[in-house]
Amino acid sequence: MNKKISLVFALIMILSLVLSACAAPEPETIIETVVVERGSETVIETVVVEVPQEEDMGEMDQPVTYDGYSTTDIPTLDPQVGEDKVSIDYIENLFVQLTNYDLVTNEIVPEAATNWSVSEDGLVWTFNLRTDIPWVYHVPGGGTTQDVDVDGNLLFVNAGDFEYGIKRACDPNIGSAYSAIIAPLIKGCNDVLNYEDPANVPPEMYDAIGVSAQADDTLVVELEFPAGYFLSMTPMWTLAAVPQWVIEEHGEQWVEAGFVVTSGRYVLDEWVHGVRRRIVRNPLMPADMIGSGNIEAYDVNVVPDTSTGYALWLNNEVDVAGIPDAELQAHLEQFPDETVQIANLTVYYIGFRMTKPPFDDARVRRAFSAAFDRETYVDVINQGQGLPMKHFAPPGIFGAPPIDEVGVGFDPEFAAAQLAEAGYPNCEGFPTVTLLGYSGQNTLNEIEYAQGQWSENLGCDPEKIIIEQQSFAELLDSTSVDTPDEDAPHMWTLGWGPDYADENNWVGDVLWCEGDVRFKRTCNDIDDLIEQARIESDPAVRADLYYQIEEMFFGAEGEFPFMPTDLNINYAAEHTWVERIVALFGGEQWYNWSIDWEAKLAALGE
């Protein structure tokens, strides 16, 4: 939409939800017209502003603020493109999804969709949507107003916005890793995503994708098969509504501060790439959707490492921090009441490029996996922060086998025999290979430990295992399925956290040969079982199929596209004034977190 003048009336709420219950003088109301630069446009905005009484100005100057840090920039705020935790956390708070996860029960609860139904054959889902969630534009450092169309009509999130967003996720040209996760389910989506000429997909193929807005408040999604787990996917950011008119006007820049139009509990107030970012409460969000928390501003500065972040925590400058390995034991002794352990169901692994010798041989992959002592790694190197894992899906995921029943695990005799059978007895004649980890001391500890394990248990000269580190974004690029083998590492570290509570999100979305699998697997009998389990309606039969699949990947004759290492259960330093529940699925719900503001100010000496 090419909009020259926007006349918008919006109520700017007084900041500080915690203090709003206190008695206060009725604020004065004025109408103010502001002129702002919005991209290449000059936009005139008329807003209704509440002017607090003089005694309230201190509260207005200090909104309830969560102070955090990050060691990385936000890779993207685009819901259809986001694939990493940092991006997904922000997208969760800036955009609404069809449904949400209850943080306590992990049940699916309404969000934009108030209710839903499914046809008897399980192929057609109908979502009834609320129509009072506004699309909002926020002036960085300024006010928030509701967006309007070319005729000046207020814009609300509707079924057409979800239809556009979901169909956009099927577009092979946007570079979305999660497109491959939703495409097999939604009718016609896979055809578009895998079209032979991505730049020239016929428009009628997009029209044929099984997503349609029957009315502003009615969205219909047609599936390729009766996937009983589809509802557990509906909180996913990839299926979020997005503003088509903004995307068409600004292209890839549409998510930048000053351009982006959002629909969530927060708005983007500042984003200086690689330096800092700030989101603030959306004052126009419907009252029943604002969340149970009281955090009005969420400030994050980018720092070089966890040690810097922890130093800020010690100085009360951030609310929560990771704990450097060298500081962990001292921290546990000194701050027992300000320490939490967080199990986020992320399983870490070392992946293999299955098309790059010598890891094109399953026996070599089995050997490297079985030569890795997971218990010692968790207990000593990770200082007890986790559980050893020898298969993929963790406890709590439907279809995951019992944690100790499937997989080889640590077996140095088996490892040595497999390597010898592959033609490298005692690692003689083994070529030089690369092991790539993402940045951070924890990852460096892991890859150095792995290097030592393969030396001790397989006889491989450590100089044969070249270890390197890259930023997370760079590692994703280096290991992409599109990266030529000669440019890709032989091995790399990554982890997989759940997007929805079903084993298909693990073996189906990460390992299925027809997905965007960075290990470059060749399709075989395992994939037939993955497809069978995906469409099976009997839960007991599905669970048994997944047991077989995990064994075929990680058992004694397993394929081993990667070697699972551990389930993440990290310690974190958390000040007592923070009240939060960490999300197991999807992004963090900062709108449901709270700060005891008086206690925090007292700690800061204010």
Percent of the chain with pLDDT strictly greater than 90: 81
- Tell me, what CATH number does 491's domain have? 3.10.105.10
403 and 521 together in one domain = yes
More confident residue, 177 or 267: 267
- pLDDT attached to residue 11: 31
Among the candidates 273, 289, 305, a domain finishes at 289
Are 371 and 281 contained in the same domain? no
Q: Are residues 167 and 263 in the same domain?
A: yes
Domain boundary among the residues 257, 289, 321 is at 289
Q: Does residue 124 form part of some domain? A: yes
Range(s) of the domain holding residue 94 = 11-289
Domain for residue 448, yes or no?
Answer: yes
Predicted confidence band of residue 537 (pLDDT cuts 50, 70, 90):
confident
Asked if the structure places residue 110 within a domain, the reply is: yes
Same domain, residue pair 416 and 532: yes
* Confidence at residue 515, expressed as pLDDT on a 0 to 100 scale: 80
Reply yes or no on whether the pLDDT at 26 is more than 90: no
Q: Are 362 and 283 within one domain?
A: no
- Res. 440 pLDDT band, cuts 50 70 90: confident
Residues 227 and 358 in one domain: no
Task: Kindly tell me if the per-residue pLDDT of 34 is higher than 60.
Answer: no
Q: Is residue 134's pLDDT more than 70? A: yes
- What type of residue sits at position 535? I
pLDDT bracket for residue 441 (50, 70, 90): confident
Asked if the model's pLDDT at residue 15 lies above 70, the reply is no
Residue 219: which CATH number? 3.90.76.10
CA of 135: how far to CAs of 79, 242, 277, 285, 491, in Å? 15, 9, 21, 9, 44
Considering the domain boundaries, does residue 590 fall inside one?
no
Residue 35 has pLDDT above 90, yes or no: no
Residue burial 3-25, b: 16+ Cβ < 10 Å; e: rest: eeebebebebbbbbbbbeeeeee
Residue 348 counted as domain residue: yes
Q: What is the per-residue pLDDT for 363?
A: 98
In a domain, 599, yes or no: no
pLDDT value at residue 60: 46
Amino acid found at 299: D
pLDDT at 290 over 80: yes
In a domain, 318, yes or no: no
pLDDT of residue 64: 98
State residue 185's pLDDT score: 94
Residue 268 contacts residue 136 (beta carbons within 8 Å): no
For residues 443-464, give the mean pLDDT. Answer: 96
Answer yes or no: do 388 and 257 share one domain: no
Query: Quick one: pLDDT at residue 322?
Result: 94
pLDDT band, very low/low/confident/very high, at 550 (cuts 50, 70, 90): very high
Are residues 430 and 285 both part of a single domain? no
In this structure, are residues 167 and 158 in contact, taking their beta carbons and an 8 Å threshold?
A: no
Q: How confident is the model at residue 606 (pLDDT cuts 50, 70, 90)?
A: confident
Strand ranges (DSSP E) for 107-196? 108-110, 113-118, 124-129, 136-138, 144-146
Query: Quick one: 349 and 284 in the same domain?
Result: no
Predicted local distance difference test score (pLDDT) of residue 62: 86
Asked, for residue 371, whether it belongs to a domain, the answer is: yes
Domain finish residue from 289, 324, 350: 289
Give the per-residue pLDDT at 110.
98
What confidence tens digit (pLDDT) does each residue in 109-133 have?
A: 999 999 999 999 999 999 999 999 9
Tens digits of residue pLDDT in 180-227:
899 999 999 999 999 999 999 999 999 999 999 999 999 999 999 999
CA distances from 43 to 13, 39, 40, 276, 599 (A): 22, 9, 10, 26, 41
Q: Is the pLDDT score of 176 beyond 80?
A: yes
Does 370 lie in the same domain as 262?
Answer: no
Q: List pLDDT tens digits, range 407-430.
A: 999 999 999 999 999 999 999 999
Number of domains in the chain: 2
Name the 3-class secondary structure at 97. coil
Cα 402 to Cα 32: distance, rounded to the nearest angstrom: 62
Distance CA 276, CA 282 (A): 19
Q: Are 359 and 222 part of one and the same domain? A: no
Whether residues 54 and 178 fall in one domain: yes
CA 515, CA 296: separation in Å to the nearest integer? 40
Average pLDDT, the chain: 90
CB 436 within 8 A of CB 493: yes
Contact of 591 with 293, CB cutoff 8 Å? yes
